[in-house]
Amino acid sequence: MSRTSLPSDLAGTVATTSPDGRWFGAGRSVATDAFTAGAEATAAAVAGRPEPGLILVFARDHVDMQPLLDGVRSRAGRNTKIAGCSTIEPMAASADPAGFSVSVVAFGGDEFGYEIEVARDVEGNERAAGGLAAAGLARLSHAHKVLVLLIDATLTDNVEIVRGAYGTAGAAVPLVGGLSSDDWQFNRTCQFAGDSSGVEIYKDAVVGVAIGSPQPIGLGVAHGWRRSGDPMVVTDSDGLKVYEFDNEPALDVFLARVGLDESVLTGSDSFRLAALEYPLGVATRSGEEIRVIQGVDLADRSVWCSAGIPQGGLAWLMEGDLDSLVAGSTESCQQAVRTLGGATPIGLLTFDCAVRRRELGPAGVRREFAEIERIFPGVPFGGFYSYGEIARYRGATGMHHLTMVSLALG
Amino acid sequence: MRSADDPSLVTHHWSTLQLTEFCAVLTGSADEDEVLRLAVERASEALEAEIAAVVIEGEVRAHWGLAGDAAETETLRTIGSARSVRLAGLGEVHTFAARLGRGTGDFLVVGRLDLALAGPERQTVQAMAQLLSLVLRNLRALTAERSLREEQQVLLRDKEREAAERLALLEEVRNRQRLLEQLLTIQQAVAARHPLAQVLDAVTAGAAELLNHRPVLLVLADSSTARSLTVVSGDLAAVADHEAALKVAGRSIATGSHVSDDAVLTTPAGRTRLTAAPVSVGHEIAGSLVAVLDDAGADRFAEQQDLLVAFAQQASLALTDARTVEAVTQAQHDPVTGLPNRTLFLQRLREALAERRDDIVLFIDLDRFKSVNDSLGHRAGDALLAAVSRRIAQRLRAEDMAARIGGDEFAVLLRDITLDDAVRVAESLVESLRQPFRIAARDALIGASVGVSARNSADDTADDLLSNADVAMYTAKKRGASQVVVFEPQMLAETVERLDLVADLQRALQQGDLRLHYQPLVDLRSLRPVGVEALMRWTCPRRGVVPPDEFIGIAEESDLIVDMGLWALREGVRQLARWRRDFPGLGLNLNIAPRQLLDRDFVSHVADTLLIEGVPAAALTLELTETAMIRDPEMAGHQMTRLKDLGLRVAIDDFGTGYSSLSYLRRFPVDELKIDRSFINAMNRSAEDLALVRTVIDLAEALRLQTVAEGIEDADQLATLRTLGCRIGQGYHLSRPLVPTAAAEYLHAAQDTPREAPTSPRPQPARR
């Protein structure tokens, strides 16, 4: 393939190598031509090292994906496995985040192992799909393993997908990943999987990337939102639907608490977007889980949430500001360092929430990246802003929202 | 008091919520393997643990978080009571195993990294294990019943024996189902933070129901005075030997294990033994659940003991959730009004009877409380109840006692008083409760009906006295608002008859004794049927044909009307779907009771039924009476709008007999007015009635509503209605209500031949 020649500027190159020969690189591209962008970001991630074994691609939803992936393949090795997904915005080290359309991370070295599985036609078969996506783990015999899940955001029962993956992976394997995103359209998300000879573009799919390593893997999860105001008791709920807070219609309580009026309910997506800025925190044994209100039922003034809130449960409105959200990123990275157990990190995968990205703004993102680089100095990182984050290190559940997940590879 | 931010409270409450969900999820499946899979998954998720497994008869039947590793599975199989295990890839895991029922080696084990399970968490696992074992037994009973049924089809030998066995098994299946439902109800009550006393009463009542209606008591040890035991729930009067019961309870509290009395009592109802299971608050044994169990065979006795243990665990959960000692002592008081609750009231009444005092009981039921509660919200409702309790207290002497014994029900114990004076007190209470209450910046007008009951004979128990006052109150209520009625023995017979009828009706609904008859709705110009109205009919095996007037009203007083209405909806729409294959334009009119319309699930039931039967919504007209709209205009309007959104038609039944307010015709989305039969019947004899019918038809035309004349009984009435321009009618002159086969014949006949004259008139029965 020689559709275009690479520019000589490889300023995006960041890559590190471990003593056992494993290496990790991250690259990005600002090119407007999709093929060029794919090739440029891949070349930057590989940075002239021996053939990469795995390449993960995170590309803005508006990019023409097929030529982009052709560009990636043009700079990958002959036997490189490739996976990835669409995103509202990719993440990659040391650049103005708004400027680039694709980020690529590359893994290389004989000691790493990788297996990719794709579950298709997932709707209605979520659990089995999760199990299938994790099936590659069984073919890896490394001391440490992790499963990266890339799930289509249009699949609503993502909790069941993660549950299915956990059932196959078991407690010894951390789960990470995210729901593929787009520019708040909720209809242009896609996932990729394949290898140097061809990459398929999927919709409604779950891509599972099993990675095996001789060295420990660290995982951090934090969100940076804090409780605001008095708690609300969920006095009536059923599944994802909450009918009442404190014995009053849930929608009315929510609107009054956040100071929105009825007009926000008229636009097609205006409420959904507004509600993203006012997440709910649900009290759990070890803190709180974040829920996002995803819609309303005007007939009974109920709201429906990203995950169930049991009747009788306590919920808080959560608030965040630039400082607290950046602090969430810091905490996530520090947890990843702690769980790495003293091993030296060679690379970092990041999955951060698109809503956090919106709230952070360009200045906040620069601060977030600066924090990542402060805690992981000289360590390349790449990932994407998602519509839902996956992280399971302790416990048996792994679906999160409005959260920053960081995976450090030792 | 602990605040909602108290982490330990939140933690425990979270576990309780998870337990409720656990129970709901498990009882939702009919497959044993799936139940086991769900159990290990949900148990580990609820406890934020990584590992869970169920071991039955030495075999790991389900596990979660182990990724199928054979060595790890083997480790869990033999874990026993070890507090931790080492698992490959995970390291040291803190474990806790809870047995699935007493006397078995089967268990549910949960394993968590980082942090050992705390006391309340272990209690949650115990409760989960107990629930799982009950669900499993239920499934096995079901499976046994099914296989026996299948065998029976092959082998017809020993018919009687097998039939008896099957009956016994069926009974067991039903009992287990009831048990699970009871436990789920209790857990939901705990999770929703219902008042503690209410939850504890549900525990004792639920256990009693399943233990062959033997008495069950919840006894708590008073922490301030050592060895003092208090019965906080259950019917102490039904236990013959109080001391023996308390002694067994004391032994189970002291040993922290379940205890059975050695003494077997032979009673008219059979051989019984006292048994007690310990109840704990957090880590500490705080009391005991005591029951009189049937001593009928070791298996049966052991099973009943298991059941008692399951309920004792529910009581422990409820008490632990309530948590503070203060809450436990408040178990005898109603938290909204601060008044004593039913348990304490009955205790005091028993003491009064024991002292042979001339005390009199008042049973007070508030009128219109529900509508105030519904319109102003629960918080205002609670404020109103508190205000009511203050007004009641103001009218009583210091030695009298008021209690809140139910939602809007209060009882008063008037000490040493004559019947005349008691009636005077009751009247002054009624007068005082008729005055407006200032609640939520609005004046709420309620009222009260009062029943008065004095001891009639020396045998009267506290329960008798309270229940007699209740019966008198019911009579008062029937006589109209704000009445005082003194109990008379014949009222009991009326109540028994009413309850009997409700029971028969309930059975009729379960056994399919209800039928729908269909009365054609006819286009008065062409005399062709355009639809049918479904009318409920009941032939009771014991009573024969029961006229609708006699059973619909009683069904409407209870929630039974909601189930009956649901049945009629499904049956009517199913029949309509069949007929519409031959008569595509045919519509169905269905009567909807106010209570049914106000039921939150009603609209979705209608939508589901139409969807399942494939009937377009426009083919269904729901007939509502004006009462429904007056009772709760806001909710009724909301529900009617939702029905209209589905595409259904709405008719006002018996128009003209109620409020017939023009304003609600504007306010509610109505398509059709049904002119009441009384006007049709009188219009050819009375100029006023004729004018009224004409006005309704003109009014309907102006508002673009369809009119339907009900009860057309002769040709003159038909001619008049045609002249007035009424489009649709029904009545005996056109056709009486028909059984489905006759209705089908009628429809075919009407289709085949142009109809010149209506069918011959028949005598007019009562209809609703």
Among B528, B526, B610, which Cα is nearest to B576's? B610
> Which of the two residues, B91 and B9, has the higher pLDDT score?
B91
**pLDDT tens digits, A53-94:** 999 999 999 999 999 999 999 999 899 999 999 999 999 865
Burial grade of A162 (CB within 10 A; 0-12, 13-18, 19 or more): buried
Looking at residue A253, its pLDDT comes to 92
A172 closest CB neighbour out of B16, B52, B90: B90
Looking at residue B328, its pLDDT comes to 42
Burial grade of A44 (CB within 10 A; 0-12, 13-18, 19 or more): buried
The shortest C-alpha distance from A112 to chain B (Å) reads 18
> Which of the two residues, B287 and B296, has the higher pLDDT score?
B287
Looking at residue A335, its pLDDT comes to 94
Looking at residue B766, its pLDDT comes to 37
Contacts of A137 in chain B (CB under 8 A): 67
Among A10, A115, A108, which Cα is nearest to A50's? A108
pLDDT band at A14 (very low <50, low <70, confident <90, very high): low
Looking at residue B746, its pLDDT comes to 94
The one-character DSSP state at B333 is: B
A394 closest CB neighbour out of B21, B45, B50: B50
Residues 6 or more apart whose Cβ sits within 8 Å of residue A262: A255
Looking at residue B592, its pLDDT comes to 93
**pLDDT tens digits, B267-291:** 666 778 889 999 887 667 888 999 9
**pLDDT tens digits, B311-350:** 888 788 777 766 543 444 456 678 788 888 888 888 888 8
Q: What is the mean pLDDT of residues B614-633?
A: 85
B164 by DSSP, 3-state: which? helix
Contacts of A231 in chain B (CB under 8 A): 4-5
Query: Would you call A172 and B379 a contact, using CB atoms and an 8 Å cutoff?
Result: no
Burial grade of A66 (CB within 10 A; 0-12, 13-18, 19 or more): middle
Query: Would you call B67 and A310 a contact, using CB atoms and an 8 Å cutoff?
Result: no
B149 pLDDT above the threshold of 70: no
Looking at residue A6, its pLDDT comes to 37
> Which of the two residues, B194 and B129, has the higher pLDDT score?
B129
A332 pLDDT above the threshold of 50: yes
The shortest C-alpha distance from A253 to chain B (Å) reads 14
pLDDT band at B7 (very low <50, low <70, confident <90, very high): very low
Contacts of B16 in chain A (CB under 8 A): 312
A170 closest CB neighbour out of B41, B66, B600: B66
The interface predicted TM-score (ipTM) is: 0.86
> Which of the two residues, B68 and B429, has the higher pLDDT score?
B429
Mean pLDDT, chain B, whole residue set: 83
Query: Would you call B378 and A247 a contact, using CB atoms and an 8 Å cutoff?
Result: yes
A226 by DSSP, 3-state: which? strand
Looking at residue B217, its pLDDT comes to 92
Q: What is the mean pLDDT of residues B164-172?
A: 64
**pLDDT tens digits, A159-202:** 999 999 999 999 999 999 999 999 888 888 999 999 999 999 99
Both tokens of A153, joined, read 């955001």
Q: Give the other-Cβ count within 10 Å of A408's Cβ.
A: 28
Looking at residue B527, its pLDDT comes to 92
Q: Which of B3-7, B299-303, B377-381 has the lowest mean pLDDT?
A: B3-7
A9 pLDDT above the threshold of 70: no
Report which residue type is found at A167.
G
With pLDDT > 90 as the criterion, what percentage of chain B qualifies?
Answer: 34
Query: Would you call A396 and B50 a contact, using CB atoms and an 8 Å cutoff?
Result: yes
Q: State the Cα–Cα distance between residues A180 and B231, nearest whole angstrom.
A: 60
Chain B contacts in chain A segment 217-246 (CB below 8 A):
231, 233, 235
B31 pLDDT above the threshold of 90: no
Query: Would you call B48 and A397 a contact, using CB atoms and an 8 Å cutoff?
Result: yes
Chain B residues with CB under 8 Å of a chain A CB are: 4-5, 10-11, 13-18, 20-21, 41, 44-45, 47-52, 64-69, 87-90, 113-114, 121, 188, 191-193, 377-379, 600, 638, 642, 645
With pLDDT > 70 as the criterion, what percentage of chain B qualifies?
Answer: 86
> Which of the two residues, B258 and A148, has the higher pLDDT score?
A148
Report which residue type is found at A24.
F
Phi, psi angles (nearest 5°) of residue B112: -130, 135
Cite the DSSP H helix spans in A27-154. 34-46, 65-75, 126-133
Q: How many CA atoms lie within 13 A of A184 on its CB side?
A: 13
Q: What is the mean pLDDT of residues B629-638?
A: 77
Q: What is the mean pLDDT of residues B242-247?
A: 86
Range with top average pLDDT, A243-252, B12-21, B24-33, B266-275: A243-252
Looking at residue B265, its pLDDT comes to 74
Looking at residue B333, its pLDDT comes to 74
Beta sheet of B59-64, edge-to-edge order: B59-64, B51-56, B107-112, B91-99, B84-87
The shortest C-alpha distance from B122 to chain A (Å) reads 14
pLDDT band at A95 (very low <50, low <70, confident <90, very high): low
- Return the residue of B nearest to A398 by Cα: B45
The shortest C-alpha distance from B117 to chain A (Å) reads 11
Q: State the Cα–Cα distance between residues B624 and B626, nearest whole angstrom.
A: 7
Looking at residue B659, its pLDDT comes to 60
pLDDT band at B622 (very low <50, low <70, confident <90, very high): very high
B13 pLDDT above the threshold of 70: no
Range with top average pLDDT, A15-24, A365-374, B338-347: A365-374
C-alpha dihedral, B502 to B504 to B505 to B508, nearest 10°: 160
Q: What is the mean pLDDT of residues B170-190?
A: 69
The one-character DSSP state at A98 is: G
Query: Would you call B48 and A247 a contact, using CB atoms and an 8 Å cutoff?
Result: no
Q: What is the mean pLDDT of residues B252-267?
A: 81
A171 closest CB neighbour out of B41, B65, B377: B65
**pLDDT tens digits, B342-355:** 888 888 888 888 88
Q: Of how many residues is chain A composed?
A: 410
Looking at residue A286, its pLDDT comes to 67
Greatest Cα pair distance, chain A, in angstroms, is: 66
Calculate helix-pair angle for B560-580, B489-511, nearest 10 degrees: 30
Q: Does A309 touch chain B (CB under 8 A)?
A: no
Looking at residue B686, its pLDDT comes to 87
* Angle, alpha carbons A62-A390-A323 (nearest 5°): 80
B158 pLDDT above the threshold of 80: no
pTM over 0.80: no
Cβ B60 vs Cβ B213: under 8 Å: no
B745 pLDDT above the threshold of 90: yes
> Which of the two residues, B684 and B269, has the higher pLDDT score?
B684
Looking at residue B90, its pLDDT comes to 85
Looking at residue B155, its pLDDT comes to 54
Looking at residue A37, its pLDDT comes to 95
